[in-house]
């Protein structure tokens, strides 16, 4: 028997209902905030990710799915959403628009890492990218949007962990201070951190192996090396978050795992989640240098990504899935061939008018159909019989109140719709 690849999942049954629920909330909220849906390829030129994500990132060094196609081109399965959106923005000359571009995506990503709770090799993220504005109000809007989507999914006790990496001058000052501090302690850090020290020392602060090390806990903080302008900008972002009623905590350990971030960086966590699972539901930050690095002119960008797989796991943990179930408006019942011929157009007309309908697909008797309708929790039963059909009537039963009425067959659609 052929089985699915390691690190992937099938989405079926009650899980598929949760996925549909999450996706519907996301798309509704994105429309309300006036974000435009964008879909980029699942694979791109390897150079896109190796340049934008950064060669010092674990994603590029250890986790990307790289391959050559039949034309000997180097391609990579999409490991994250930002680079592809920025590439599309530049390739399609969206920068020529006088408006700030607000995109959202919802799709699969691929990283070759050890599968565990909250971490799969094929996983789904939704996220946003806002290109063309450096106003701190956009930082606050992006963070608030992520926060409010999770609230709309009935996830409570959320907290945004936020930090700033500052502008270029701030980053240089902080990097020098961090290198000076870490150098005497390198032997006490993991092998990955020793390598990161040579390429991108800030990434050491994001290490999961040494996260509780006293060395990292006592490391210099980015916020202490900010220029005046960078500090004022961060203070403004926090002020806007207060106005938007977003619960946050300034956390100097937040640096994010990708190399393209500057200024605002953040993660959003569920304080109710099981400690054995990943509690970080998503995160992001500002990347004002990335557009130029990918061949464009100096411009501004900020975004976030949220893990749908982790959200689903949390929704199941808090038993929300009990309230997310497939509802059937109507079950159309028949037994004879003549009843079946009358049932088909009724089912079709109801469905074309937005009514969720199921019918007898297995030649069941009436008892079996009643049982199926109960399992599907159908609100109405439309019960066809030859005697009523001769008079142009159908029998309709409210499966919850048990009341029954006979309706003219030509009025059945209007009756069902008006009583749903």
Give the C-alpha separation, 194 to 179, whole Å. Answer: 11
Task: Name the CATH architecture for the domain at 330-419.
Answer: 3-Layer(aba) Sandwich (3.40)
Pick one of 3.40.50.720, 2.40.128.20, 3.40.50.410, 3.30.930.10 as the CATH number of 13-167+227-322: 3.30.930.10
User: Boundaries of CATH 3.40.50.800 in the chain?
Assistant: 330-419
pLDDT in tens, the chain (420 residues): 999 999 999 999 888 989 999 999 999 999 999 999 999 999 999 999 987 665 555 555 568 999 999 999 999 999 999 999 999 999 999 999 889 999 999 999 999 988 877 789 999 999 999 999 999 999 999 999 999 999 999 998 899 999 999 998 988 898 888 888 887 877 777 877 777 777 777 777 777 676 677 787 788 888 889 999 999 999 999 999 999 999 999 998 887 656 678 899 999 998 876 554 558 899 999 999 899 989 999 899 999 999 999 999 888 887 766 566 777 999 999 999 999 999 999 999 999 999 999 999 999 999 999 999 999 999 999 999 999 999 999 999 999 999 999 999 999 999 999 999
Which tens digit of pLDDT belongs to each residue from 188-199? 778 777 777 777
User: Boundaries of CATH 3.30.930.10 in the chain?
Assistant: 13-167+227-322
Q: What is the structure's pLDDT at 156?
A: 83
């Amino acid at each position: 028997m052929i089985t699915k690849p390691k690190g992937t999942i099938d989405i079926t049954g009650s899980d598929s209902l949760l996925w549909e629920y999450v996706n519907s909330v996301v798309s509704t909220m994105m429309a309300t905030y006036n974000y435009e849906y964008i879909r980029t390829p699942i694979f791109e030129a390897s150079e896109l990710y190796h340049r934008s994500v950064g060669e010092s990132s674990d994603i590029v060094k250890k986790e990307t799915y790289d391959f050559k196609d039949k034309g000997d081109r180097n391609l990579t399965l999409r490991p994250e959403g930002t680079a592809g959106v920025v590439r599309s923005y530049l390739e399609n000359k969206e920068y020529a628009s006088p408006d700030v571009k607000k995109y959202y995506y919802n799709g699969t990503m691929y990283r070759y890492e050890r599968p565990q709770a909250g971490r799969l090799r094929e996983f789904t993220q939704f996220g946003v990218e806002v290109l063309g504005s450096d106003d701190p109000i956009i930082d606050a809007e992006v963070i608030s949007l992520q926060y409010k989507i999770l609230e709309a999914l009935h996830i409570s006790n959320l907290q945004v962990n936020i930090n700033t990496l500052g502008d270029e001058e701030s980053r240089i000052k902080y990097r020098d201070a961090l290198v000076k501090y870490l150098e005497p302690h390198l032997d006490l850090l993991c092998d990955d951190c020793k390598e990161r020290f040579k390429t991108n020392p800030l990434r050491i602060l994001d290490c999961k192996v040494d996260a509780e090390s006293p060395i990292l806990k006592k490391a210099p903080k980015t916020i202490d090396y900010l220029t005046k302008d960078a500090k004022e900008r961060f203070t403004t972002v926090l002020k806007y978050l207060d106005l938007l009623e977003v619960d946050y905590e300034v956390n100097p350990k937040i640096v994010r795992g990708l190399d393209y971030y500057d200024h605002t960086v953040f993660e959003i966590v569920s304080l109710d989640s099981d400690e054995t699972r990943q509690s970080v539901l998503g995160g992001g930050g500002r990347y004002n240098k990335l557009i130029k690095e990918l061949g464009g002119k100096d411009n501004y960008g900020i975004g976030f990504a949220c893990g749908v797989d982790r959200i689903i796991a949390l929704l199941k943990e808090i038993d929300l899935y009990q309230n997310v179930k497939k509802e059937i408006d109507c079950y159309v019942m028949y037994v004879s061939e003549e009843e079946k011929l009358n049932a088909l157009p009724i089912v079709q007309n109801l469905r074309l008018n937005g009514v969720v309908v199921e019918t007898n697909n297995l030649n069941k008797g009436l008892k079996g159909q009643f049982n199926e309708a109960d399992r599907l929790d159908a609100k109405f039963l439309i019960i066809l019989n030859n005697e009523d059909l001769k008079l142009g009537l159908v029998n309709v039963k409210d499966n919850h109140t048990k009341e029954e009425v006979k309706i003219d067959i030509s009025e059945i659609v209007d009756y069902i719709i008006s009583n749903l």
